[in-house]
Chains A and B, each alone.
Chain A
Amino acid sequence: MIHLQRRANPSKLMGYLAPVIALAMTLLAGFLLFALLGVPVGEAFRAYFIDPISDSYGLAELGVKAAPLIMIAAALSLGFRAGVWNIGAEGQLILGGICGGAVALYFYEVESAFVLPLMCLAGVIGGMAWAAIPALLRTTVNANEILTSLMLTYVASLLLSFLVHGPMRDPDGFNFPESRLFHDAATLPLVLPGTRLHIGAPIAIFIALAAWILLSRTLLGFALRVNGNAPRAARHTGFSQAKLVWFSLLFTGAVAGLAGLFEVAGPIGQLNPVISPGYGFTAIIVAFLGRLHPIGVIFAGLIMALSYLGGETAQITLNMPLAVTGVFQGMLLFFLLAADVLIHYRVVFGRERHYVR
């Protein structure tokens, strides 16, 4: 028989190894999945993992997709460490896009340098406002933030749909559910000319670094870490439970809102009914894959961005459904959670022994 034996101390080695094991297992399972679907495995793997990043344009696209994942996941990591389960980052992202986009449309005729900073500010405020609702409900009446933040994601996406079908629709757009295209003054500057890689990518790295410093070098970061492990002890750090909940949600909301604004002012350039392919949800996986560590999140973000790119390439070249990306992402999280058992437990073969303690 095989059974689990608790380690005296969590294994550091396994903490680093678990994501690698999980990735390997996901590749293996992907191999089987492709074989089951009757897709030539070699071609499928090339389409997923090699073709998308084989030229500079592809690498730039990787950055475009990784930016929102990295920044949101870095922020989520802080909250998850503190035991605050904000799973509505997608909704906060959408609200950031709506508010920032509204500023761009309001100043449609204005070509001035203040438009873009104002849009960023609006995006941040929009995301924070949306995240403030679950924070308020959790700290006042103790309503579960998982359910409230998720419900608000549905509300946000319906709100966006309503706006682009109605008040924000392009007056000359033949009734398509889209806003007007933003002017140059309202779109993000590019980092690499000729690609879509925008200034959001370096900002995402900066946010991850800032989150790392906050988590490892400040009292607030210490309080967040303690709160996740021992909520009662955390009170003695000088931060109440409520303060930590507020901080976790507002910080993620602000970052997700900014990410949403980056999407509409960057690669999309207007408001349309779907401004994110689920970045807010995928960022949850990125946070776990990155070990809830803002630096680990950078690597994890790049990997998950590749799964989006690969999904698009495989759809074009192999006619594979885009849904395969979701299957991969779900499997990766499963394998990661399973591999994580090795951090706290040792797998022992043979008969279970009981010791008198």
Chain B
Amino acid sequence: MSDDPSTFVLIALTVITAATPLVFAAMGELVTERSGVLNLGVEGMMLAGAVSSFLCVHLTGNAPLSLLVGTAAGIVMALLFGFLTLSLQASQVATGLALTIFGTGLSALVGQSLIGVAYEGLPKLSVPVLSDIPTLGPLLFQHDVLVYGSWLLVPAVAYFLNRTRGGLVLRAVGDSHDAAHALGYRVIRVRYLATLFGGACSGLAGAYLSMAYAPMWVENMSAGRGWIALALVVFAVWQPGWVLFGAYLFGGITILQLHGQGIGINVPSQLMSMLPYITTIVVLVLISLDQGRVRRNAPAAIGQAFHPTT
């Protein structure tokens, strides 16, 4: 630990804010992928969530409502994806790309009037008494609602996937849709729900960016975080706990780039900004080295279309 606890706490706090959107987006995509659906449109859904929640908070000033609106925007985008890939059997890869291109364009269009608008950011909810503990208090008990939410989301998803009947059905659908169908499970319905859950999480991740992380609207403000979240799911070999670890690792790297100059790393800012992207590649390579581990954990039916009469 650092000699000066306040500096340590400050850096740790920025790591948490950088990691939170990644936790949401990656957890949502993890659930989607465990049901056998690969949605590459995370970036587009995040941007939709970011712009719509910011627009709402700008118009109404109502933060809880704005978070709901951001979530809803993610769900609507995911519904579009689900309709094309699940109901119309379109290619998941191509549709996901389309969702990202569409979300980028639409959010830029909607956000046109929001550039330069200020917002004070989501209020911090301090837990009484506990938040006064030195070091630990500010680290764990003085956050906005979404940070707490992200901490609850991981164990909740892990519990759902591994300990409940619903989770078992979802995994069955993701591993073998034909077998699940033969057992009488509604493959398409399960996949729709998992896809919508992913959309809701990505929408929240976007809302976090524009309402707490920045807080403002900038065109294309997710800056590849949706794609990093997709890589995180592979890094985590589809296990919720590892998503949390990976997101905080990436949060740390993002912060390194912000504080690099301060700690005395004298590298041009553009080169420092490459770090998260290069790290993503390195991490993908490292995880892919153990192909057996990836193959054992990857949902077996991922990316495959399902049509009951074939």
Contact = CB atoms under 8 A, between A and B. Distances in A.
B263 interface: no
A148 B274 CA distance: 13
Interface residues of B, number: 47
B93 interface: yes
Contacts of B93: 85, 146
Interface in B66-91: 80, 84, 88-91
A142 B105 contact: no
- Interface residues on chain A, size class: 35 or more
Chain A at the B interface: mostly helix, strand, loop or mixed?
helix
A133 B280 CA distance: 14
Contacts of B289: 141
A220 B1 CA distance: 59
A163 to B, nearest CB: 9
A162 B270 contact: yes
Given A323-B109, A323-B112, A344-B89, A151 B98 contact: no
8 contacts: A6-B307, A285-B101, A327-B109, A330-B106, A337-B84, A338-B84, A345-B89, A354-B309
Interface string A70-103: 0000000000000001010000000000000000
B308 to A, nearest CB: 10
Contacts, number: 139
Q: Which of B80, B98, B99, B280: most chain A Cβ within 10 A?
A: B98
Given A151-B227, A151-B278, A334-B102, A146 B112 contact: no
Contact of A326 (B97, B101, B231, B284): B101
A133 B219 CA distance: 29
A300 to B, nearest CB: 14
A137 B84 contact: no
Contact of A154 (B101, B224, B291): B224
Contacts of B231: 147, 151
A154 B274 contact: yes
B102 A323 contact: no
B309 to A, nearest CB: 6
Contacts of A333: 94, 97-98, 101-102
A26 to B, nearest CB: 11
Contacts of A324: 105, 109
Interface in A312-335: 321, 323-331, 333-334
A53 to B, nearest CB: 22
A338 B88 contact: yes
Interface string B259-302: 00000000010110110011011001100110100100000000
Contact of A334 (B84, B112, B280, B310): B84
Interface in B216-259: 219, 223-224, 227, 230-231, 234
B84 A284 contact: no
Interface string A265-284: 00000000000000001001
A113 to B, nearest CB: 35
